Amino acid sequence: MPAPSTTLLIEGSFTELADEFAQYIDALRKSEASSSLQSEISPLLQPLREQEQSEAEPDRKQRDEVLKKLVSAAVVLNSAPEKEIISAYNLLVHLVHQASDPDMFLSRICTYLAKPISSSPQFGPSLAISILSTIFNTLAPSDSSRYHVLLATVAVIRQSSSSIAFDALKSQLAAQLPSWLAAWELDADEAQRLHLAIADAAQASGDPELAQTHVVQALQTIPAANASSPEARDLAVRALTSALTHPAVFDFTPLTASDAVQTLRSSDSTLFELLEIFTADTLDAYEAFISATPLASISGGVLAEAGEALQNKMRLLTLASLAASTPSRSLPYATIATALRVELTDVEKWVIDTIRAGLVEGKLSQLRSEFLVHRATYRVFGEKQWAEVQGRLMVWRRSLENVLGVVRSERERFVREGLQAAQAAEEAAQGKGNDKKGGDRRRHNNNNNQQQQQQQQQQAPAAPAAAPEAVAVE
């Protein structure tokens, strides 16, 4: 098991420190108590002193008896001088860690720290958070006692409404809370209590989005067997009301998947019907519902003051549905104005708000008075949406086939032209070669003819000498 990240170093034996702490408590209580705490624990400390002197194994049950009296009287620590509060609580925590089961004492100490520190109204929350952080870090990560410490810390932050303190805790919750819950092995009630405490602190610190997240997580801890209980119904109404009125919540799937919310179909049918409209319907259906069922009549009027917020959110959701269901991906301003029931001059404002909400992506064309949709969020995804996806995939497939056909034909033409060019080049090269061979052959033949003629001239016999003229003999 991982070791705690903080260790308290306090010198002295258990009996010495317990006696010292009792004297301090008596000094704080002064004349308020009929008998001193030191005199009450003195008989209990005597056997423990003897064990310490003989270096025998301490009797932890005897220690627990001493600690019960010390912790019960420690409620007075919240009135101690500001400079002494942290050191006094650290001493008490050090003593409690020597009990047989520190958890039974730490939870009570955390309860004290969750209450206001009367001696320091201004810095009390900071002092309490500092002490609680020390306690939390002296415990092993898997120690379930950390649960009580975290609860007390969240309670102090909620009471102080300190956004700075909550921001520091928020980062820890985002990174560590899932692993803490798994290590502590909390039951459903404990987990729900923690999530609701965090939600309340987040709401008090001005973070409604995180508050909504933890309300939904608290709702998910309710077992199916308890989904129809009054507590579950109240939590479901709270979660649903918060989700409907929150300006950044557009996905209601986690709510519709909850057993507790599903039971509202019978206990709060109008509220559940409104949830169904926000899940999949449009502004027309919403206004028809409101005309027949005023908001003040729904679940005791929990949405009586939310009329404008609900209508604005419904317009954004309607535009998202309109964009998702448009095959051409082009929405004329007139179509949007009709669907949202707004003036034509206000269309661009609503489109921009819907883009900011992350429901659609696209481009406004003032020249053509249309909204070109690049991406749209499906609010529900059922058989109809699957059919739309299938149709768009078929169009995409045909487009890709056409592109592939063009690429294939161009590739074939390129290869064909390349082969033709190569063949022409080869033929041209062969033609030049033949011409060169013919010229060489002619030159060779001419040379041969000349040589033969020369040889024939050399080999021909000389012509006979002319016969001498006859001499007449007389």
If residue 371 lies in a helix (H) or strand (E), which one and from where to where?
strand 370-376
For residue 282, give the 3-state DSSP assignment. Answer: coil
pLDDT band at 425 (very low <50, low <70, confident <90, very high): confident
**What integer pLDDT is reported at residue 466 of this predicted model?**
41
Q: Mean pLDDT over residues 266-295, rounded?
A: 94
6/179: higher pLDDT = 179
Alpha-carbon separation of residue 77 from 84, 109, 441 (angstroms): 9, 10, 125
For residue 302, give the 3-state DSSP assignment. Answer: coil
Percentage, residues of the chain above pLDDT 90: 55
169/388: higher pLDDT = 169
* CA 268/CA 261 separation, integer angstroms: 9
Residue 461 has pLDDT above 70, yes or no: no
**What integer pLDDT is reported at residue 382 of this predicted model?**
64
**What integer pLDDT is reported at residue 306 of this predicted model?**
93
pLDDT band at 429 (very low <50, low <70, confident <90, very high): confident
Contact status, residue 160 vs residue 125, Cβ threshold 8 Å? yes
CATH number of 315-376: 1.10.10
**What integer pLDDT is reported at residue 151 of this predicted model?**
93
Residue 395 has pLDDT above 90, yes or no: no
**What integer pLDDT is reported at residue 3 of this predicted model?**
43
Q: Name the nearest CA neighbour of 263 among 303, 297, 232.
A: 232
* CA 168/CA 176 separation, integer angstroms: 13
Tell me the per-residue pLDDT of 127-150, one tens digit each, with 9 for 90 and over: 999 999 999 998 998 888 899 999
pLDDT band at 468 (very low <50, low <70, confident <90, very high): very low
**What integer pLDDT is reported at residue 216 of this predicted model?**
93
**What integer pLDDT is reported at residue 449 of this predicted model?**
58
Place of tokens 């009586």: 304
In sign, the C-alpha dihedral spanning 33, 38, 43, 45 is positive
* CA 424/CA 416 separation, integer angstroms: 12
**What integer pLDDT is reported at residue 238 of this predicted model?**
94
* CA 112/CA 124 separation, integer angstroms: 12
**What integer pLDDT is reported at residue 364 of this predicted model?**
95
Across 223-258, b (16+ Cβ under 10 Å) vs e yields: eeeebbeeebbebbbbbbbbbbbeeebbebebbeeb
* CA 248/CA 151 separation, integer angstroms: 27
In the chain, domain spans:
12-137+144-156, 315-376, 383-411
Tell me the per-residue pLDDT of 54-86, one tens digit each, with 9 for 90 and over: 888 888 899 999 999 999 999 999 999 999 999
Residue 258 has pLDDT above 80, yes or no: yes
Q: Mean pLDDT over residues 327-347, rounded?
A: 93
Tell me the per-residue pLDDT of 40-56, one tens digit each, with 9 for 90 and over: 999 999 999 888 888 88
* CA 436/CA 411 separation, integer angstroms: 38
* CA 407/CA 67 separation, integer angstroms: 85
Fill in the DSSP letter of residue 206: T
Q: Name the nearest CA neighbour of 368 among 354, 342, 348, 392.
A: 348
Tell me the per-residue pLDDT of 338-392, one tens digit each, with 9 for 90 and over: 999 999 999 999 999 999 999 999 999 999 999 999 998 887 766 666 776 777 7
0.85 exceeded by pTM: no
For residue 374, give the 3-state DSSP assignment. Answer: strand
Which residues 6+ apart lie within 8 Å of 232 measured at CB?
Answer: 222, 226, 260, 263
Residue 465 has pLDDT above 50, yes or no: no
Percentage, residues of the chain above pLDDT 70: 87
Tell me the per-residue pLDDT of 177-232, one tens digit each, with 9 for 90 and over: 999 999 999 999 999 999 999 999 999 888 889 999 999 999 999 999 999 999 99
Alpha-carbon separation of residue 335 from 154, 157, 225, 322, 330 (angstroms): 49, 49, 47, 9, 10
**What integer pLDDT is reported at residue 162 of this predicted model?**
75
**What integer pLDDT is reported at residue 444 of this predicted model?**
57
CA atoms within 13 A on the CB side of 82: 10
Contact status, residue 201 vs residue 229, Cβ threshold 8 Å? no
pLDDT band at 426 (very low <50, low <70, confident <90, very high): confident
